[in-house]
Amino acid sequence: MSPAMSTRISDPRQFGKVAVLFGGLSAEREVSLKSGNAVLQALQRQKVDATGLDVGNDVLDKLQRGKFDRAFIVLHGKGGEDGTLQGALETIGMPYTGSGVLGSALGMDKLRTKQLWLGADVATPSFRILQEGFNVEQVIDALGLPIIVKPSGQGSSIGMSKVERADQLQAAFEAARRYDPVVFAESWIVGKEYTVAILWDQPLPLIRLETPRSFYDYEAKYLSNDTRYICPCGLSEQDEKRIQQLALRAFKGIGCSGWGRVDVMCDRAGKPSLLEVNTVPGMTDHSLVPMAAKAAGLSFEQLCWRILETSLTTH
């Protein structure tokens, strides 16, 4: 399977000097360091003139002094995945991988992503915004139990908590608020969880996720060895294509482009509900996009090359 592409590069010299941006200052720094180093090594193995930069407040100065031609963004979370870095790169005219400013900003904002999806008639679990002094009984009456509480502007499940009893909701709110001032509670969907990787407007094979933990949290994503990644995912070809197209519509609907990942829950009746978009997904040995790419016939090196080619588009 070869994802459709508008621009292809055959000679690594055509990329020029590439800065692989990783690390940063967000709560996802450690994951970004692992992802970035994996990408850097994959590009260097393919003779791309790539250099790794641990991103700080002086990143634009380093990029200009280093005379880089383009940036491969492997920053997760705030400051790298939320449109701020993308906008900064545009001010100096430097091409970069993945989504532009708008898609990055919206993709990082789980709450506004859900609100936009609702306006576009894309199914997403019911939710309530939580603010200081919220009424616990009203939230539970609206959403039932269990529910999941999320900070709007974090990735990697950081700050998220499953709430199974009313007396747990306030503590979950406080835990989420440590990472973002905007917090919401979301209905818990009982069913199967899938993820849809997208590369150049082409959905890759679905992966079904199974974990013995209460949900697919940070430990299940990056540390645990008992998380199961099932591909082929077990759906019929028709159902898999239906979810792929839904994910692609949702991805493009909030302005995302290039590459990314959409997370989906299917209830017991098989009805899909979209959870969130990741515009710079993980690229570690536990990460989902490389697994989906492998199922589509792409090595990790080929995947990194294809993602770097997205920097040749204009945002």
Residue of 276, 287, 306, 311 with catalytic role: 276
Q: How far apart are CA 83 and CA 165, in angstroms?
A: 36
Among candidate residues 104, 161, 273, 278, the one labeled active-site is: 278
Catalytic residue among 35, 99, 156, 273: 156
Distance CA 14, CA 258 (A): 19
Task: Out of 70, 128, 261, 306, pick the active-site residue.
Answer: 261
Question: Please, which residues have CB within 8 angstroms of residue 274's CB and are 6 or more apart in sequence?
Answer: 117, 122, 123, 124, 246, 247, 250, 262, 263, 264
The residue annotated as part of the active site, out of 52, 153, 260, 282, is 282
Catalytic annotation present for 278: yes
Q: Is 10 a catalytic residue?
A: no
Concerning whether 28 is annotated as a catalytic residue, the answer is yes
- Which secondary structure element, helix H or strand E, spans residue 72, and what is its range? strand 70-73
Catalytic residue at 282? yes
Q: Which residues contact 309 (CB under 8 A, 6 or more apart)?
A: 5, 7, 8, 9, 200
The angle subtended at Cα 211 by Cα 205 and Cα 216, nearest 5°, is 80
Of 28, 109, 186, 217, the catalytic one is 28
Catalytic option among 222, 255, 273, 287: 222
263 is catalytic: yes
Tell me if residue 276 is catalytic: yes
Among residues 263, 273, 287, 311, which one is catalytic?
A: 263
273: left (phi over 0), alpha (psi -120 to 50) or beta: beta
Residue 133 appears among annotated catalytic residues: no
Q: Which amino acid is at 185?
A: A
Give the residue numbers marked as catalytic.
28, 156, 222, 261, 263, 276, 278, 282
